[in-house]
Structure 1
Amino acid sequence: MTELLEKAIAKLKTLSASEQDAIATLILEELEDDTLWDQAFEQSQDTLATLAAEAIAEFKAGKTQPLDSETL
């Protein structure tokens, strides 16, 4: 465990049980979200590669236009 995490946990121990549970819930939800994001990103690699190949092919075929500040 890192020093910073140990410091955070020491501070958490001074909070009420309900505050500790609220923060624990937030941490666990964040970790779960990170896991789900990683899984989704990992599963999308083939799709992203296909889209990238299509974009490159359109660029090489002259079917694209440069973006400028007015386009955005």
Structure 2
Amino acid sequence: MTTLQQIEMAIKQLPESEIRKLLTWLQTYVDDRWDQQIKADLESGKLDNLISKVEADIAANQVRDLNEVLDNP
């Protein structure tokens, strides 16, 4: 049995309130890891080309309002 399988089995034994606490903790953990990855990508220059393109699009007025994009995909 793998560790993941053991974790899954243990979660199934938890009361609903503990599962909800675990879910909240896990979402916070995932969000923090995402933030760390974005920060690392920014610091390494990995996003420089994308940022330059966005800045050029903004300067050329080649952007749309976010509400327009969300309302008319």
Q: Give the structure with the larger helix fraction.
A: 2
Number of aligned residues: 45
Q: Could you tell me which residue of structure 2 aligns to residue 16 of structure 1?
A: 15
Deviation at 1:33, TM superposition (A): 0.6
Deviation per CA, 1:26-60, whole angstroms, max 9, x where unpaired?
Answer: 112101110110001110124xxxxxxxxxxxxxx
Instruction: Please report how far the alpha carbon of residue 6 of structure 1 lies from its aligned counterpart in structure 2 after TM superposition.
Output: 1.4
Alignment of 1:1-72 (within 5 A): 3-46=2-45
RMSD: 1.6
Q: Distance in 2 between matches of 1:17 and 1:27?
A: 15
Give 5+ residue unaligned stretches, structure 1.
Answer: 47-72
Q: Which has the larger radius of gyration?
A: 1
Q: Partner of 2:13: helix, strand, or coil?
A: coil
TM-score computed with the length of structure 1 as normaliser: 0.55
What is the TM-score with the length of structure 2 in the denominator? Answer: 0.55
Deviation at 1:16, TM superposition (A): 0.6
Gaps of 5+ in 2: 46-73
- What is the CA-CA distance between 1:24 and the residue it aligns to? 1.4
Runs of 4+ in 1 over 2 A off after TM superposition: none
Tell me which amino acid in the other structure corresponds to 1:9.
E
